[in-house]
Structure 1
């Protein structure tokens, strides 16, 4: 998306979606006229998430106010669904929140529209401290040479497996460094021994496809273009057709259940497969949904092709009248040890490694400790991060699911499904 206005129909759809939420959003995020004669500043702060995240975020912001009594917040949060419709409406009207949460599906889009404040100068003069961040993590917020968002949690791809079922059946556990073919062969043996399908089929999972591409010397994207060919997609789909034919995976209907984004529907916790392909920081939430003990390792293949992904960011609105204060707020949330303990790992592992170590030492949540330890271990093998995905990435993700399921259900050959996905993806990033 460029800085020009969207087509009229799309603009009207976005406007209507936003108008449905005017009482909520405008009441909390609208306007920047809160700096009064009393010297007080009120910043609007907008994020998505559940009630637990809302409570933690509010507590962390209250801590900032306790330390800076002249700064208060208008706090607005909601579920993920519809969040970006509301944000699009606000930014289209130049009425965005001072600070807002964003992820890598939309960071490039908002940065290239000049919605986000370039944080580079604040980083250079130390007002935004990233010295304790993994370098690849903060760099994952750079778009066209500008720091568009501050990474607010580290994450990486994780293959989560049912440790209890495997140990009970005296089956070997999956290990980091297994090849893709070795993983499939492992699943073919471990599945029948445990009475479950060996592995969820990840051919619809963009994370798995992206890691596999990097292991082939390719990228998901080269700048604003695709970094792969239709032949690459076909090879990926054929790999998993072979796994399905060899009974390493469950049936297409069960695979479809696992393709859903709801963490409670992942096959590793519904006892329909021994593995699920997720973000490693989802381990605590997965563990809450099963009595079995879970483990996590890297995706198959060369683990150095995984990277420290920013699970989400906080960005500052370029048009805010309180740039310096807004930047100080996100710097505080990322680097203050007390704020870090409040926020925990809800948005991923704390970006500041010292804060992360403090959280790990202070938490009594066993699965949270396991997740921090696992990602820290995986990070020893990290290679360079790719560029932030370009506009159209969210469409590419959904088109991969569509095409992969065509192949999974046998409605299309791997070659036909690959052509479908490649054409749709090219259109998405070129719009």
Structure 2
């Protein structure tokens, strides 16, 4: 009996060793995860997820993890914190502030040169518009792939304006004409609804101020000269413009305006039905329309046709973290986002109109994207070269907004605000 038990034990032990050896020899299915950080609302997140699923299906064993933020300000605060801790994402969306993240930039070297990945055949630059390549090229290095071309615009609630019996705004107008239109429109709107959002300086964007400085012939920053042409008197004029709108009641009081984060459609005064006109980039039209029942459309900022003061820019850039452990795969993913017709079909022009001839072959996927293209066809002739961005862009935007709010709440005069704005610009330039 003891011998039988011993035989069984030996046999069982041998069998377990066979299974254990088999387990060790089984092929491993290691999964690679790419982290992608960007900003945007629910519509953008859904579109991005759809593109990710296509990429993952085409690349078994690869997962892409989204790390979205509501607005650009939150995005860069989070990314800066992650990078400082040595835990930055693989792919990082950037805007016109990308020079802050290249060698010699105030944020330190983060963005990877992509030209070597084109030479490897991972990224196809042959089908990318030359202007998009030159935009992201500094001293012979390509620091990002454009998500698409874009233009600033004003968006208006067509359904609301028609309901109150007011005429629709003209696509092009002068500043005096636009002011009078706001006054006439406000007379017809119900209580608590304003002709325009306070676009003077938004929580996440200084673009309307940048537009006005270009219109005024005093660019905020000229990189070649490392200086601003804005004077305290110029900045005061801009603050006075919106103080006038506020006094007329065509934009909301400061406390109401400040209650809307304006980081995306989910936090928009326009989407909430409390403003008839707001500021928007062309690529945002579809996402905002999806969040609304009322129909919306685009017009130029005042003075655009008068002085050709608009510009066409690259909406955002897909950049790769130079410290990523999966650089080749990250390059493959951003090539997919930019050049794949499959990706273009689900991404649409949410991040701008495609700069890839292959992706453009898909065409506009819906009426909202066609509206954006139609607007760009009208506004395109009213453009000039884009002005340089003020260095330390994120800090500049957030501090400018605080100065603007202090003026709006009556804590400081427009004269004092003008001085503080110019001091801020000069501080960012020399920082």
TM-score, length basis structure 2: 0.77
Task: Tell me if structure 2 keeps the 8 A contact 1:104–1:312.
Answer: yes
**What corresponds to 2:158 in structure 1?**
163
- The 1:135/1:202 distance shift into structure 2, 3 A limit, reads farther
Tell me how far 1:404 sits from its aligned partner.
1.8
Alpha-carbon distance in structure 1 between the residues aligned to 2:297 and 2:248? 25
| TM-align CA RMSD | 3.3
Task: Tell me if structure 2 keeps the 8 A contact 1:63–1:339.
Answer: yes
Task: Tell me if structure 1 keeps the 8 A contact 2:93–2:316.
Answer: yes
Alpha-carbon distance in structure 1 between the residues aligned to 2:273 and 2:51? 37
Alpha-carbon distance in structure 2 between the residues aligned to 1:283 and 1:183? 21
Residue 290 of structure 2 is aligned with which of 288, 292, 311? 288
Secondary structure class of the residue paired with 1:222: coil
**What corresponds to 1:179 in structure 2?**
174
Task: Tell me if structure 1 keeps the 8 A contact 2:154–2:277.
Answer: yes
Alpha-carbon distance in structure 2 between the residues aligned to 1:311 and 1:160? 17
Tell me how far 1:258 sits from its aligned partner.
4.9
Q: Deviations over 1:40-79 (max 9, x none)?
A: 994623223566655544553454455556x734534243
| Structure 2: gaps (5+ residues) | 1-26
Tell me how far 1:426 sits from its aligned partner.
2.6
Secondary structure class of the residue paired with 1:242: helix
**What corresponds to 1:267 in structure 2?**
269
Tell me how far 1:190 sits from its aligned partner.
1.5
Task: Tell me if structure 1 keeps the 8 A contact 2:94–2:317.
Answer: yes
Tell me how far 1:287 sits from its aligned partner.
2.4
- The 1:175/1:137 distance shift into structure 2, 3 A limit, reads farther
| Structure 1: gaps (5+ residues) | 1-36
Secondary structure class of the residue paired with 1:346: coil
Alpha-carbon distance in structure 2 between the residues aligned to 1:55 and 1:170? 36
**What corresponds to 1:305 in structure 2?**
309
Tell me how far 1:127 sits from its aligned partner.
5.8
- The 1:163/1:65 distance shift into structure 2, 3 A limit, reads closer
**What corresponds to 1:245 in structure 2?**
247
**What corresponds to 1:405 in structure 2?**
405
Task: Tell me if structure 2 keeps the 8 A contact 1:156–1:280.
Answer: yes
- The 1:95/1:156 distance shift into structure 2, 3 A limit, reads same
Alpha-carbon distance in structure 2 between the residues aligned to 1:124 and 1:386? 31
**What corresponds to 1:378 in structure 2?**
379
- The 1:250/1:342 distance shift into structure 2, 3 A limit, reads closer
Q: How many residues align?
A: 389
Larger Rg: 2
TM-score, length basis structure 1: 0.77
